[in-house]
Amino acid sequence: MAIKKTSVKLESFNVQITYKAVKYLRLKVTKDGLVLVSAPFFTSKQSIVNLVEKNRAWISGTLAKIQIPSDEIRFLGQAYKLKFDKNINYVSVEQGKIIAPNQKELDKFMLQKAKEIFEKYIKFYSPKINKPINHVSIKKMTTRWGSCNSKKGYINLNLNLIQKDERFIEYVVLHELTHLIYPHHQNSFYEFIQSLMPDYKSIEKL
């Protein structure tokens, strides 16, 4: 059977799909910033969508490293010029620039801002979820924006979310909190999200 190639937009990424004689789905991001999927013949589109969804955070992180110069940094969806100045003892965000005394202080600043934003949306949506939230952890993750253990009431959020638009951060927080009620991705899960965030489909593409 002849190799077949197609290109589709999935999860805000332009994905080039090649159907060929392979046994398993394979995903990679090239050094030129191309998102490539190799798929066995007759693989369903949903299987490819699931693969991209599962690896969305990793794809975004990899593309960001390729596309953003080393002297730039993303913060809340915007690109800023990054400058280190050892003569200051605080982090400043101003007119397209972020100035920090060193990397350690910059990391502390980003963590604190992430905590503030996460806590704001957890506080906002918690009464609507009406389920116990026993623990929230913030850490760098490579393959997902967040996760939820619905039995324990644990929420994990990716520190790298601080690079994304705040509306996207809000969506991820709501997404993970919703798993406390619906520990799956069936229609009822997305219907509940839509009841609280009617435009979530456009937001998750930010």
Domain definitions of the chain by residue range: 4-66, 68-203
Res. 45: pLDDT tops 80: yes
Q: Using CA atoms, how far apart are residues 101 and 55, in angstroms rounded to an integer?
A: 34
What pLDDT is attached to residue 165?
93
Res. 170: pLDDT tops 80: yes
In this prediction the pTM is 0.69
Mean residue pLDDT of the chain comes to 89
Res. 159: pLDDT tops 80: yes
Output the CA–CA distances (angstroms, integers) from residue 109 to 6, 82, 98, in the order listed.
43, 13, 11
Amino acid (one-letter) located at 190: Y
- Is there a contact between 59 and 29 (Cβ–Cβ < 8 Å)? yes
Res. 142: pLDDT tops 90: no
What pLDDT is attached to residue 69?
60
- Is there a contact between 173 and 128 (Cβ–Cβ < 8 Å)? no
CATH 3.30.2010.10 fits 68-203, yes or no: yes
For 161, counting Cβ atoms within 10 Å of its Cβ (0-12 exposed, 13-18 middle, 19+ buried), the class is buried
Q: How far, in whole angstroms, is CA 106 from its chain's centroid?
A: 20
Question: Confidence class of residue 153 from pLDDT cuts 50, 70 and 90?
Answer: very high
Mean pLDDT of 40-67: 85
What pLDDT is attached to residue 67?
61
